[in-house]
């Protein structure tokens, strides 16, 4: 399985050199470095032609386009340059502009008649080159404004989506899928974009493709008989292979008769957790507060015991609330469903992404599954099949996502569960301890409790489990609330550009200090991200 080389443009004159070290000898150097005064001197005083290539067959217009000098490109076109000239491999100046995403230079070229669908000897168009170099903004520009075909194959049958998957540019993949680029397209070797992402071990690219796809792509075999998962395993990308294998099993199971396990996985564990909490409450009342073989409960112990029961009931009510409440599903406003589609155009091509509400310059805001432009901290939940604003995580124990609208409820539920299990556990231990008149050793006390008070022992076991789980979760949630960061952002910080500073290190722009973060959460239940962006 081999992949033909993408466009390569390498020259000394295109490298970054300090201004004081630049020595320009000809028009090609002047165009490459954007030195318009020297270019004018060469042309107007020395009579140098701008329609002739250099020794490598490259034209002045290509160099100006590569380095995004629109004023130089405009001058060249006014003084004999031809927007349609091609080099030795039939690449136009627009191809070169696509390499570095030179939108301003491309605008000059296209306004002067450049063909957006021009292809080189490999069948690469500007859309292919943009995908090969991850120039997502450039790709969006030529597709939305000049209606470039974003799903056209090259000579080997590879579309821009194939190239973006091969190079691992997840943002470019999101944009192409947002336009409904065909994931099932096979090249001459029978490979889909998912095959190429698996070949290179591009984890994020594979995840985006799998979540947005029909899952049929997981079973497609190339001309050698390999599925994407098998290719990943063969190349040693075991993590990618595991992701694809799990996705394949989940897809396969959904076509089978739904047994008890599958039904439970669909519903979630919320009914189980509800029954556990309810059963432990009844067990606490029957085996601790009303136990006939315990020492008579004092007024103080009874008060604490019934306080625990009341808190348990409150936690169940809060459990129902956070399980059934909208976690913050993102509405479809700004996406395909609310926009009129022009006749003969794709569903998204009438929308200018960069001028849409909520847009902040992060391509992760595009959801290729829901076909919406979502707020920055949102994420698509594959279980709920919806995008959730300020997505924290999908909790199977409440059978719901935890997001902007129900995170406060979830936190209160955990708090009540922790306090309830702590108080009831202390009351239970006190009651069992005082019920043993003569304590000889720890072993004899445990033996006495297990065999003389089995209900109390069962309650303690369940209570310890709840206390450990709820205590751990609330500690993690409290820490993240103080930092104003979600669980998803903590785990996947490297995937989100808005969590990285100019030096590439982690930087949380939403952290406004512990006091502000906590006060906003406790009062409103969430942080207003618009206030943070406006700072």
* 365-386 average pLDDT score: 88
pLDDT at 4 over 60: no
Rounded CA separation 417/397 (Å): 13
DSSP-derived letter for residue 367 is E
* 410-421 average pLDDT score: 96
Rounded CA separation 391/376 (Å): 10
In this prediction, residue 352 has a pLDDT band, given cuts at 50, 70 and 90, of low
The reported pTM is: 0.78
Please report the pLDDT score of residue 76 as a whole number: 95
Of 25-29, 308-312, 396-400, 452-456, the one with minimum mean pLDDT is 452-456
Please report the pLDDT score of residue 234 as a whole number: 93
* 268-282 average pLDDT score: 93
Please report the pLDDT score of residue 391 as a whole number: 95
Average pLDDT, the chain: 85
Domain edges within the chain: 9-149, 270-327+399-534, 336-395
Residue with more model confidence, 7 or 393:
393
Ramachandran angles phi, psi of 501, nearest 5° = -80, -175
Which stretches of 453-494 are DSSP H helices?
Answer: 454-483, 487-491
In this prediction, residue 323 has a pLDDT band, given cuts at 50, 70 and 90, of very high
In this prediction, residue 355 has a pLDDT band, given cuts at 50, 70 and 90, of low
Please report the pLDDT score of residue 344 as a whole number: 40
Please report the pLDDT score of residue 492 as a whole number: 87
Neighbours of 220 (CB within 10 A): 17
DSSP-derived letter for residue 526 is S
Q: What are the tokens at 128? A: 């292919």
For every residue of 392-404, DSSP letters joined together read -EEETTTTEEE-T
Please report the pLDDT score of residue 255 as a whole number: 42
Q: Is 119 in a helix, a strand, or coil?
A: coil
Please report the pLDDT score of residue 175 as a whole number: 93
Of 3-17, 234-248, 290-304, the one with minimum mean pLDDT is 3-17
**Best CA proximity match to 464, nearest among 433, 432, 418, 395:** 418
In this prediction, residue 424 has a pLDDT band, given cuts at 50, 70 and 90, of very high
Please report the pLDDT score of residue 393 as a whole number: 95
pLDDT at 458 over 70: yes
Rounded CA separation 484/192 (Å): 40
Rounded CA separation 33/327 (Å): 52
Q: What are the tokens at 248? A: 């394949």
**Model confidence over 31-69: pLDDT tens digits?**
999 999 999 999 988 889 999 999 999 999 999 999 999
Residue with more model confidence, 108 or 370:
108
The domain 9-149 is classified under which CATH number: 1.25.40.20, 3.30.420.40, 2.160.10.10, 3.30.428.10?
1.25.40.20
Residue keyed to tokens 């903590």: 490
DSSP-derived letter for residue 386 is E
**Model confidence over 167-217: pLDDT tens digits?**
999 999 999 999 999 999 999 999 999 999 999 999 999 999 998 887 788
Active-site positions?
395
**Model confidence over 218-271: pLDDT tens digits?**
999 999 999 999 999 999 999 999 999 888 877 665 544 445 445 555 678 999
In this prediction, residue 451 has a pLDDT band, given cuts at 50, 70 and 90, of low
Which stretches of 67-125 are DSSP H helices?
Answer: 70-78, 93-99, 103-111
Rounded CA separation 254/261 (Å): 12
Ramachandran angles phi, psi of 386, nearest 5° = -140, 160
């Amino acid at each position: 399985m081999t992949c033909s080389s993408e466009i390569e443009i390498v020259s000394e004159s295109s490298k970054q050199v300090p201004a004081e070290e630049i020595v320009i000898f000809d028009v090609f150097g002047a165009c490459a470095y954007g030195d318009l005064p020297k270019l004018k001197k060469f042309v107007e005083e020395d009579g140098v032609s701008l329609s002739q290539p250099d020794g490598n067959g490259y034209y002045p217009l290509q160099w100006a386009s590569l380095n995004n000098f629109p004023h130089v490109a405009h001058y060249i076109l006014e003084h004999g340059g031809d927007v349609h000239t091609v080099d030795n491999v039939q690449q136009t100046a627009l191809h070169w502009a696509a390499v570095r995403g030179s939108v301003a230079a491309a605008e000059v070229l296209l306004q002067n008649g450049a063909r957006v669908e021009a292809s080189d000897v490999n069948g690469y168009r500007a859309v292919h080159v943009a995908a090969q170099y991850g120039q997502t903004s450039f790709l969006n520009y030529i597709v939305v404004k000049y209606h470039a075909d974003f799903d056209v194959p090259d000579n080997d049958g590879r579309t821009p989506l194939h190239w973006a998957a091969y190079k691992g540019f997840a943002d470019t993949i999101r944009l192409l899928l947002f336009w409904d680029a065909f994931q099932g397209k096979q090249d001459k070797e029978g490979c889909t974009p998912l095959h190429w992402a698996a070949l290179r071990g591009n984890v994020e690219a594979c995840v985006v493709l799998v979540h947005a796809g029909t899952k049929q792509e997981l079973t497609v075999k190339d001309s050698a008989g390999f599925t994407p998962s098998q290719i990943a395993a063969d190349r040693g990308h075991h993590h990618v292979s595991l992701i694809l294998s799990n996705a394949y099993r989940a897809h396969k199971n959904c076509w089978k008769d739904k047994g008890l396990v599958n039904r439970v996985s669909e519903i979630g564990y919320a009914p189980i957790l509800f029954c556990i909490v309810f059963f432990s409450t009844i067990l606490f009342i029957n085996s601790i507060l009303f136990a006939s073989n315990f020492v008579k409960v004092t007024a103080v112990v009874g008060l604490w015991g019934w306080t625990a029961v009341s808190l348990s009931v409150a936690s169940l009510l809060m459990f129902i609330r956070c399980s059934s409440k909208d976690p913050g599903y993102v509405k479809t406003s700004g996406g395909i469903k609310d926009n009129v589609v022009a006749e003969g155009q794709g569903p998204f091509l009438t929308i200018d992404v960069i001028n849409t509400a909520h847009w902040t310059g992060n391509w992760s805001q595009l959801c290729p599954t829901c076909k919406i432009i979502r707020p920055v901290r949102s994420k698509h939940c594959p279980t709920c099949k919806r995008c959730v604003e300020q997505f924290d995580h999908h909790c199977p124990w409440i059978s719901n996502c935890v997001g902007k609208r129900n995170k406060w409820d979830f936190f209160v539920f955990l708090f009540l569960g922790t306090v309830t299990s702590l108080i009831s556990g202390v009351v239970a231990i006190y009651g069992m301890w005082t019920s043993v008149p003569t304590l000889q050793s720890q072993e004899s006390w445990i033996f006495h409790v297990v065999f003389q008070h089995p209900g109390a022992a069962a309650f303690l076991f369940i209570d310890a489990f709840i206390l450990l789980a709820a205590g751990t979760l609330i500690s993690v949630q409290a820490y993240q609330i103080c930092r104003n960061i979600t669980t998803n952002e903590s785990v996947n910080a490297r995937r989100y550009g808005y969590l990285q500073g100019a030096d590439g290190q982690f930087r949380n722009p939403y952290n406004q200090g512990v006091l502000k973060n906590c006060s906003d959460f406790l009062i409103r239940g969430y942080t207003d991200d618009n206030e943070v962006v406006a700072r």
